Amino acid sequence: MAAHYQIVGSSSAAISASVESGIRSGGLAPGVTLPAVRALATELAVSPATVAKAYQELRQRGLVVTAGRHGTRVRPRPPVATRRAALMPAPLPGARNLSAGQPDSRLLPPLGPHLAALATELGPPSGYAVTAVLPELAAAARERLAADGVPAEEITVTGGALDGIERLLAAHLRPGDAVAVEDPGWANLLDLLAALGLRAIGVPVDDDGPTEPGVRAALTAGARALIVTSRAQNPTGAAVSADRAVALRTLLAGRADLLLIEDDHAAELARVPLHPLAGATPAWAFVRSVSKPYGPDLRLAVLAGDEATVARVAGRARVGAGWVSTVLQRLVLALWRDPGTADLVRRAGESYERRRDGLVDALAARGLVAHGRTGINVWVPVPDETVVVTALRDAGWSVAPGALNRIAAAPGVRITVSPLDAADLAPLADAVARAVRPVGPAPFTA
Ligand SMILES: Cc1ncc(COP(=O)(O)O)c(C=O)c1O
């Protein structure tokens, strides 16, 4: 898709400001291709170097991406507030939205009773002199992490997993540094790396996690950090297996030059055991979000790690945002302590599993291989994402194109099972099979 927005400016700063303004207004929608450097330079009567400098600045800030022969394009989610309409693909009335990657709101534990109980327990309002992490929350988090084999003497709290990851990367890396991430991987993480001016090195992932040769190659290519999703990898549903954990721990052992980050966002919702890498490297962090089991709006994650790494994150937060509200911390603690909530989370995990397995099996019965060992998504490798996404939209199902998740991985589509009921699985699998292998006109035979 090419841009129809008029870029203006006679200096590199003015040109990049004009592009940024186009992105904000929606005139330059995510994914559109910017004019080639020479063409824009001629149009604006400036030197190609001036345009190239503007594009470079936009690239460093993560607003655009340059991809070889595809030219320079606006990133799918550039880090400037955009009119929402510009980010949304045109919705088809009545289509079922399986593209959002959201947990099933029907299965999130209700917060009302816990908020009501908190209201009676809170006591006088807190001022600035609060402890960053509530000691009771830290103790409960330590116990839960230790039960999963994560050494959690040092712990802090962040505003969600991605906030923790951003703080870790900002504290350890500099713009231009390379970060190894799963490929396909979490689209928001790729956008964050771009916004921080970091380079993503893709590591192939199979059902058992990032592959050992892939991580080895990323290390050889100079990765300064490695981010591994423990379970419910987005988009493939992979979970680090016991064998893969041993192989990766051996490979990473003692690497003082690497920051190891584990993202356990599925947490209590994952129905497979955790095989942590925590502690394999001197600098490490293990981030566990409450978003998937208890609700994304809680905006809280616990972050364990080695002493220096946790101190950097907590210390930087102290001179910035300060801390995560103790009201939220108390709420999470109440959810963790409530046996009824634990039961709801367990049942939610079973429900996702039934729908994921049901969809993967229904696709297999139609000759299609799909992935989804854990989590809320199923990943279906397809020959052509655009063809499949469009055909499914026409059939009333909106799914996410894997292009948002991929660096060099093969194409696929991501289907979030949260909105699905058991009765949807067969018709959806039929629609996917038709979209992947459209029935064309019968071949001409003489
Ligand atoms: C891989 C991964 N990590 C983390 C999260 C959740 O992050 P947060 O705690 O910032 O809500 C998600 C949500 O989709 C995810 O897919």
Alpha helix segments (H runs only) across 26-111: 37-44, 48-60, 84-87
* Ligand 1: centre distance to CA 37 (Å): 36
Looking at the DSSP bridge assignments, the partners of residue 219 are none
Instruction: Decide: 236 and 405 in contact? Cβ < 8 Å.
Output: no
Query: 45-77: b or e for each residue (b if 16 or more CB lie within 10 Å)?
Result: ebeeebbbbbbebbbebbbbbeeeeebbbbbbb
Q: How many helices (H) and strands (E) does the chain have?
A: 16, 15
Instruction: Decide: 300 and 164 in contact? Cβ < 8 Å.
Output: no
* Measured distance CA(346)–CA(293) in Å, rounded: 9
212-220 vs 242-252: helix crossing angle, rounded to 10: 20
The whole-number pLDDT of residue 70 equals 76
Looking at the DSSP bridge assignments, the partners of residue 2 are 33
Atom of ligand 1 nearest to the CA of 301: 9
Looking at the DSSP bridge assignments, the partners of residue 288 are 302
403, burial (CB in 10 Å: exposed 0-12, middle 13-18, buried 19+): middle
Structure tokens belonging to residue 139: 């103790």
* Ligand 1: centre distance to CA 252 (Å): 24
Q: Which residue has the tokens 């990032």?
A: 210
Structure tokens belonging to residue 401: 């194109």
Instruction: Decide: 406 and 184 in contact? Cβ < 8 Å.
Output: yes
Which residues have C-beta within 8 Å of that of residue 235, sequence separation ≥ 6? 101, 184, 185, 186, 377, 379, 400, 402, 405, 412, 414
* Measured distance CA(10)–CA(31) in Å, rounded: 25
Looking at residue 266, the DSSP 8-state letter turns out to be S
The whole-number pLDDT of residue 437 equals 87
In order, the DSSP letters of 361-416 are HHHHHTT---B-SSSSEEEEE-S-HHHHHHHHHHTTEE-EEGGGT-SSSPPEEEEE
* Ligand 1: centre distance to CA 95 (Å): 25
Pocket of ligand 1 (CB under 6 A): 101, 160-162, 186, 229, 234, 263, 265, 289, 291, 296, 301
Structure tokens belonging to residue 76: 């799918």
Pocket test for ligand 1, best of 77, 230, 291, 378 (most atoms within 8 A of CB): 291
Atom of ligand 1 nearest to the CA of 263: 3
Q: Which residue's CA is the closest to the ligand 1 atom numbered 2?
A: 265
Instruction: Decide: 156 and 322 in contact? Cβ < 8 Å.
Output: no
Would you give per-residue pLDDT tens digits along the chain (446 residues)?
555 789 999 999 999 999 999 988 888 888 899 999 999 999 999 999 999 999 999 998 889 998 877 789 998 888 887 654 444 455 577 889 999 999 999 999 999 999 999 999 888 878 877 778 999 999 999 999 999 999 999 999 999 999 999 999 999 999 999 999 999 999 999 999 999 999 999 999 999 999 999 999 999 999 999 999 999 999 999 999 999 999 999 999 989 999 999 999 999 999 999 999 999 999 999 999 999 999 999 999 999 999 999 999 999 999 899 999 999 999 999 999 999 999 999 999 999 999 999 999 999 999 999 999 999 999 999 999 999 999 999 999 999 999 889 999 999 999 999 999 999 999 999 999 999 987 655 555 54
Sign of the dihedral defined by the CA atoms of residues 336, 342, 348, 353, in that order:
positive
Give pLDDT tens digits for 246-293: 999 999 998 999 999 999 999 999 999 999 999 999 999 999 999 999
Atom of ligand 1 nearest to the CA of 290: 9
Structure tokens belonging to residue 428: 């959806």
Pocket test for ligand 1, best of 168, 169, 289 (most atoms within 8 A of CB): 289
Give pLDDT tens digits for 55-114: 999 998 889 998 877 789 998 888 887 654 444 455 577 889 999 999 999 999 999 999
Q: Which residue's CA is the closest to the ligand 1 atom numbered 4?
A: 265
* CA-closest candidate to residue 186, choices 271, 101, 245: 101
